[in-house]
A and B are shown apart, each in its own frame.
Chain A
Amino acid sequence: KAGVTQTPRYLIKTRGQQVTLSCSPISGHRSVSWYQQTPGQGLQFLFEYFSETQRNKGNFPGRFSGRQFSNSRSEMNVSTLELGDSALYLCASSLALGTLNTEAFFGQGTRLTVV
């Protein structure tokens, strides 16, 4: 079965612009979470969605937002981009929120470069 699909794979944006990243989870998976990976801070949790509702949020400014659609696909948006937002953004899907017996499967990520 198809894995987690993230689009686009690479993106270059200018400071001040906004960007939208997309994530299609594994079929049947209802939980989608997002992570930011940078050389300095490592992998950091951004937020998690389940049934179109944000259930958890990490310590990121309000410029970072997301949503989930009825088909479980998710988007994350970053407004007013800063140079420090350059990172690999990873999306993970898991079978069900609250069922920690399931592992999270990750996509290949979107590498965002802000210039």
Chain B
Amino acid sequence: AQKVTQAQTEISVVEKEDVTLDCVYETRDTTYYLFWYKQPPSGELVFLIRRNSFDEQNEISGRYSWNFQKSTSSFNFTITASQVVDSAVYFCALSEAGNSGGSNYKLTFGKGTLLTVNP
């Protein structure tokens, strides 16, 4: 069965600090997808990134970067020069391809990390 662990329940930083959110996953599938979502106080989950299991290339998008390492089953998320607007709960999620080559669209979420960026 799949599982996602976000060991950091809460992180508090001062604006302009860099912060890394950890995500460790478990799956028996060789084909799977990893995601990060942001949940601001409004409640809506905002999609940040999707990565498939065959693409270990790190990605950078503005102040956001992601480090995917299959060897350690980790998919960590770094915010550079954090801002107050980054304050939110961040979720890492896993979706397995399933037996039908991709017909199992079900996200397994971690418990989330509450990031507070103080001015």
Give the contacting residue for B106; candidates A58, A106, A109; CB below 8 A.
A58
Q: What total count of A-B pairs have CB within 8 Å?
A: 69
B116 beta carbon closer than 8 Å to chain A: no
Q: Please, which residues of chain A bring their CB within 8 A of the CB of B95? A: 100
Query: Is A97 in contact with B103, judged by CB distance below 8 angstroms?
Result: yes
User: Could you say which of B13-21, B41-49, B67-75, B77-85 contacts chain A?
Assistant: B41-49
- Does A100 lie within 8 Å of B47, measured CB to CB? no
With A43-B91, A100-B33, A100-B52 already in contact, the answer to whether A107 and B44 are too (CB < 8 A) is yes
Interface size classification for chain B:
20 to 34
CB within 8 Å for A56 and B44 given contacts A43-B91, A100-B33: no
Shortest CB-to-CB span from B37 to chain A, Å, is 7
CB distance from A47 to the nearest CB of B (A): 9
| Given A90-B45, A103-B47, A104-B47: A33 in contact with B105 (beta carbons within 8 A) | yes
Query: Is A98 interfacial (CB-CB < 8 Å)?
Result: yes
Evaluate contact between A88 and B43: CB separation under 8 angstroms.
yes
B35 within 8 A of A: yes
B109 touches A48 (CB 8 A): no
User: Could you tell me if A98 and B106 are in contact, using CB atoms closer than 8 angstroms?
Assistant: no
The yes or no answer to A31 lying at the interface (CB within 8 A) is yes
If A42-B111, A43-B109, A45-B108 touch, whether A98 touches B103 (CB-CB below 8 Å) is: yes
When C-beta atoms are compared, the residue in chain A nearest to B43 turns out to be A109
Binding site for A on B (CB under 8 A): 33, 35, 37, 42-47, 50, 52, 91, 93, 95, 97, 100-112
9 CB-based A-B contacts, threshold 8 Å: A42-B109, A42-B110, A43-B112, A45-B106, A55-B104, A92-B107, A98-B105, A106-B37, A109-B43
A residues with a Cβ closer than 8 A to B are: 31, 33, 35, 42-45, 48, 55-56, 58, 88, 90, 92, 94, 97-101, 103-109, 111
